[in-house]
Structure formats: C-alpha cells, structure tokens
Chain A
Amino acid sequence: MSRIKIQLVDLYKAFNAPGNENAVRAVDHINLDIYSGEFFALLGPSGCGKSTTLRLIAGFEQPTSGDILIDGQSLRDVPAYHRPVNTVFQDYALFPHMTIMNNVMFGLRMEGVPNKEAQKRAQEALELVQLPNIGKRKPSEISGGQQQRVALARALVKRPSVLLLDEPMGALDLKLRRQMQLELKSLQRELGITFIFVTHDQEEAMTMANRIAVMNEGNVLQVGRPDEIYEKPVDRFVAAFVGETNFLQAQPLANKTDGLHVALGGSDVVVKNSDDIQTGDGPITVAVRPERIQLKPHTSASQNGADTGTLDSIQLQGRILDVHYIGTDIRYVVALDDDQKLTVRSQNTDPANNVFLPLNTVVDVAWSTNYMQVLPA
C-alpha cells in the first residue's frame, strides 16, 4: 500500500444538546488511516457519525478531542479555509447568485489566482465534468445532475489533495446515480486524488470504494475492501447492513476433533471454522448469504446424506413458506425444522426450465461452511 494521506487519531466529537445533560457522541474515539490515492467510503445508517467525521475533516466542526493529520500535519488549529481539502456537498451548495463560471472560479479567486488563469482553469474543470458550455448560466437554470457535476468541478479546480464527498448522489435518480458512480470512479482513478465518500447506500459504497469503513453509533466497526466487508463481516451489524444475510441461532453441543457440533435446524451439524469464536455454553449465530445456499426438492435419495452433510457443507431440511419472483432471482423463504426462517436466492438463469417450487414443498438446503460466518450471538 502507498503512504498514509489522512490519519484520524482517537477522534472524538460530542454534541451537547440544549437542556440535555448527556452529550451525543457523534464520533466516538475513532482511528482511521486513509491512504494516498484511495477511494475511501464511510458507510453507515443515518446518524452513525459518518457525516460528522467528514465535517471534522473539512473543518466545519471542531473535534472535542483527538486529532486529524494530513500528510502527517495536524489540522487542529487550521481553519476550514486553509485546509488542503475540498467538499462536494449533498445539496451541492452552489452559490445561487453567481453564474456557473463564477461558482467554479470562486475558490481560485480566493487563492488570488489571476483572473485570466482562473478562467482557464475553471473552463478546464468544467470540461473535465463534461459541461463546457454552461458557464454563463445560473445554478437554478441547470438540472440536478448538472449541478452535481458543477459542484464537483468547483471542488476539483482547487486541486485538493483530498476530496470529501457528502452523499453527493443523494438527490439523483437511480439511473443518473449509476452513471455518476462509474464516472466518479474513473475520474478518481484518472486524477489520483484521495476521495473520501460518505454514503448510507451499501451498494454505492461497494461499487465505488477501494476500501470501506462501516460505521454505527459513532464507531468504526470494520475497515476493509468491499469483498472483505461482504465475505467476512466482523459482527451481526456489518453482516446485516452490507447485503442480505440469514442469521441462524445454533446451540453448541460438543467440541470434537472434527469441529464444533451445534444444534441447527433440528439437526446436529459441524461448524468447522469455529477457532476464532469464543464458545461458551450460550448459543452462537451462523450467518449465511441467501445466494450461497443451494435449494433442491427433497428426495428419498438425499436422505442418505444423514442430514448433517459432509465436513465442508451443511445440509438441512425445510419447507417452502413463500416464493418471490424478482426477475434476476427467485427468492424462497424456507422454514427449517426448528422453525427458523431462511431466505434463499436462486439465480433465474434458465427461465424456460425453471419450475417454481410450490409452497410447502419439502426441500433440502445446503451451503458450504467456507461461505458461512460464525458470529457471537
């Protein structure tokens, strides 16, 4: 990995609500290293502290304690207007009384760049976002998607060493959003600027970011590449927030040489990769993604598998409770023998031969233990 660009050191921000003794811990002592040239996403539900973290980096809020370093330099006493970062705001915050050109030139004028050069650079920035011909218009005269690009140009024209984006796609419709996601990603690759991107949309974060920090209640729960976050979520919150997951309760029975035996779905199954889980007597949670589960109608032949499956896979029996046709997938809700519910997504690859399994069909479900997470309950 390349060198560290931004370091959040034990960053803490508390808001004192008026008349409330207890401070709201918006950002609760977080530590993060963000590398140079990285597309980094802060992902979490609203109120998780991701926007506050961004505002702390931008300098709109002052940390209660802790520090932010850019290239090793503390930003503690640096006002927002002297920080080498620029922001793309959620509502774009274009200056309504200025033309697009003057909006984009604003930052350069504040730097004291001569008018002629400022104009040239602003025009280049507008070309970069593919809007070379709207300089004379006012923000109210262009569409939301164009406003977003102008906001991007206005921030990029300053050649920041870090670009902060606060849910910049929030106001765009789905199609435009998809398009902008791809454009933004290629733009970032092209410019090599560190992007820090705040979003509550896990799909957006996965699509765009090199690395993601999942936040909740002011804490960073997990930092990692999108595939790490998806495949190896550290806890139930991350597993549930990023993608869809089945959580199954299992009661430990015995720790044998072949692994931990648990009671799951009315059967005795072996959970292989239980090394890193502290198993007391309490129940554990098994997390498995719906698309990783195989589903077949139950036949007497499959009975021979003795339910528990092999060492590498888990096989259970259930009954179809519900079927949803989604187009790309068919989603089954299966009730296991112990009445726990399991969602299974089977890809709709062969619609001609794809037979909907009717309700109440008895089915075998199976998944590889490699694709299963054992989490504390």
Chain B
Amino acid sequence: MANKALTGPFVRSPHTSEISLPINRHDRGRFLRGAAQVGYKAIAYGGMIFLWLPIVLLVVFSFNDSRAVNQWQGFTGQWYGNIFNNIIGTEARFSTELMLHAVGNSLFVSVVAGIIATIIGTMVALSLARGHYPGRRLLDGLLYIPLVIPDITQGVSLAMFFMIAFGFINNLLGLGANYGFGTIIVGHVAFNISYVAVVVRARLAHMNPRLEEAAYDLGANGWQTFWRITFPQILPGIIAGWLLAFTLSLDDYVVTFFNNGVGTTTLSIFVYGMLKTSVTPEINALSTLMLVASTVLVVISLGMQSQFSKR
C-alpha cells in the first residue's frame, strides 16, 4: 500500500502487484509498430519533398513577374507568352530565339540518336539473346559497363577518338570533317546502345521461346517469324528503350560538351552558358513545358506497356 504514492503515471498490475508502465507488453508492441509507421511515412514524404520541392519552385517561379529568379514579385504568364509568340512568329526576341534554336537542336539530336541507338541496341539484344557463338558471354558483360562508366570518361574518350579519326580521315581523303551534329549523335548513340539493349533484353528474356518455334512450325521462316511474332512481343521494350535513349540524350551535357561544334548548341549547353550571365524566367517556363511534355510521354508509354502486357 506504500505504492499508493506512485499512482498517477504508474499503476499496479492486479496480478503481480509490481509496478509497471501504464502500457503492457501488447500495447508497447503496438506503440512501437505505430512509431515505425510514422517513421516510414516521414521518410517517404521527406524524400518526396526533397525530390519535388525544387521542381515545384521552378514551376512557381516560371510564373514570376520579375527577371530576378529568386524573388517573388507577382503572377505573370509573360514568359510562356514570349516562347509562344516566338514560336508562332508574332514576335522575335533574340534571346528567346537562341533558346528555341537550342531546343530544336536538342530535339533533333535526341530523336535521331534515340532512333539509331534503338535500332542498334535492339539488334544487339537479339544477337545476345538468340545467338550461340563464342564470346557471347563476354559481350553480354561488356554491354553493362557503359551504364556505369562516368559521363566524363565517355565524353573525353569520344572527343579524343574523333580527333584521331578526323586527323586520319581528313589526311587520307582530303576532307574537312569536324565536330558537329555528327559527333554529338554518334556520341549519344554510343552511350545509349547499352541502355536500349538492356531494356530490350529484359523483354526478350520474358518472351516464351516456344512462340518462335510455333511460328516456324506453322510455316513462317525466320524473317516472317521476327516481324509477326518476335517484334510485336518485344515492341513495348523497344518503345521503352527509345524513350530512355531519347530522354538521356535530351538532357545530356557532358558528352555533348566535349563533342559539339559550331552551331550545334543544345539546350543543356545553352542553359549552362547562361549561368555565367543569368538564367531568364523563360528558361523556367521552358523547363516547365518540357516537364509537362515528358510527363505526358511517360504516361503514354506506361499506358502502352499495360495495354501490351494485357495481350
């Protein structure tokens, strides 16, 4: 009964008359599990905020009525208007013109490099998945290495390669080949092949090999079997591979920086150049537009993927 003074936060267990915390073992477990859930939630939301806050700020400031990038001065749609007017040609601001030109270059490079890389990457994937030749395993391993080679290494090595190649070719054939779209595209294709091949291979690995045998069995030759059976089966992988190559190419800075030439300024090079002076709100507006465009692309590709996987 001397324990009476200890009531309040403490209670006596009716069975043992020992003093215990007001929460029994069961409650304690529930409390800890609840705490863990709060922790998980905090980590997930914290991570998301960390990821998205800068992007949200970018979108917000693309509507900022000021040339200063870091101070909110009120709402405007002016920067989008500038871009729009430049595109339809009712107005021609030189700085916007330059920016849009860089966007055009970027799109050109990434579409072309994406297509070439997708064709080569798909063929590489098919060769590695279906071929039985010596060295296949080695090639398979080599395929993954470009995914982890630093961009800087790739950029420098490509620049050096082109320098040597141009020296050789120009001497031999008396040409004046130099850095330009060609070198940028070749550079992008070089690093994109691996990404495409890996994505397409994953799709091929999931394809039932009996399907091709069934096609042969029903009278289709190799060519017919590829186009009517294999290609439709791996098409989602090919599209995903192209999208990956396209986006990697679109925002590549390092490889492009080392291998571009006169008049081939891409958007990433252009924006980096602006940092020395100042980033205009138009860049924010443009980035927002690209964010929307890429989101739409991803949604479309996911939709197509699920459509295909249903089949």
Contacts and interface: CB of A to CB of B under 8 A. Distances in A.
Interface string B235-263: 00000000000000000000000000000
Contacts of A138: 311
19 contacts: A58-B213, A58-B217, A79-B221, A80-B216, A81-B220, A82-B219, A87-B214, A89-B210, A93-B210, A93-B211, A93-B213, A95-B211, A97-B311, A106-B215, A111-B219, A138-B311, A140-B311, A155-B218, A158-B219
B16 interface: no
Interface in A86-120: 86-87, 89-91, 93-97, 106-107, 110-111
Nearest to B218: A107
Contacts of A93: 208, 210-211, 213-214
B111 to A, nearest CB: 27
Interface of B: 208, 210-211, 213-221, 224, 228-229, 232-233, 308, 310-311
A59 interface: yes
A60 B208 contact: no
Contacts of B213: 58, 60, 80, 87, 89, 93
Contact of B217 (A87, A91, A111, A140): A87
Nearest to A87: B217
B211 to A, nearest CB: 5
Most buried by B among A80, A138, A158: A80
Most buried by B among A58, A95, A158: A95
Nearest to B213: A60
A283 to B, nearest CB: 47
B217 A86 contact: yes
A59 B219 contact: no
A106 B220 contact: yes
Contact of B310 (A87, A111, A140): A140
A50 interface: no
B226 to A, nearest CB: 13
A263 B218 CA distance: 60
Contacts, number: 68
Contacts of A155: 217-218
A317 B138 CA distance: 69
Contacts of A95: 211, 214-215, 229
A289 interface: no
Most buried by A among B208, B216, B221, B308: B216
B217 A110 contact: no
B201 to A, nearest CB: 19
B86 to A, nearest CB: 44
A154 interface: yes
A80 B217 contact: yes
Interface string A147-158: 000000011001
A138 B311 CA distance: 7
3 cross-chain pairs, A with B, having the tightest CB-CB distances, nearest first:
A107-B218, A110-B219, A93-B210
Contacts of B308: 97
Given A89-B210, A94-B214, A95-B215, 7 more contacts: A59-B217, A81-B216, A81-B217, A82-B219, A85-B217, A97-B233, A106-B218
Interface in A56-81: 58-60, 79-81
Contacts of A81: 216-221
A37 B217 CA distance: 21
B216 A86 contact: no
Contacts of A80: 213, 216-217
Contacts of A154: 214, 218
Interface in A109-152: 110-111, 138, 140
Nearest to A139: B311
Contacts of B221: 79, 81
A224 to B, nearest CB: 29
Contacts of A89: 210, 213-214
A82 B220 CA distance: 9
A60 B216 contact: yes
Contacts of B218: 81, 86, 106-107, 110, 154-155, 158
A106 B211 CA distance: 12
Contacts of B219: 81-82, 107, 110-111, 158
B232 A97 contact: yes
Nearest to A110: B219
A87 B218 CA distance: 8
Contacts of B220: 81, 106, 110
A75 to B, nearest CB: 13
Contacts of B215: 95, 106
B311 to A, nearest CB: 5
B311 A96 contact: yes
B209 to A, nearest CB: 9
B1 to A, nearest CB: 69
Contacts of A94: 214
A216 to B, nearest CB: 25
A90 to B, nearest CB: 8
B239 to A, nearest CB: 14
A106 B311 CA distance: 17
A138 B232 CA distance: 14
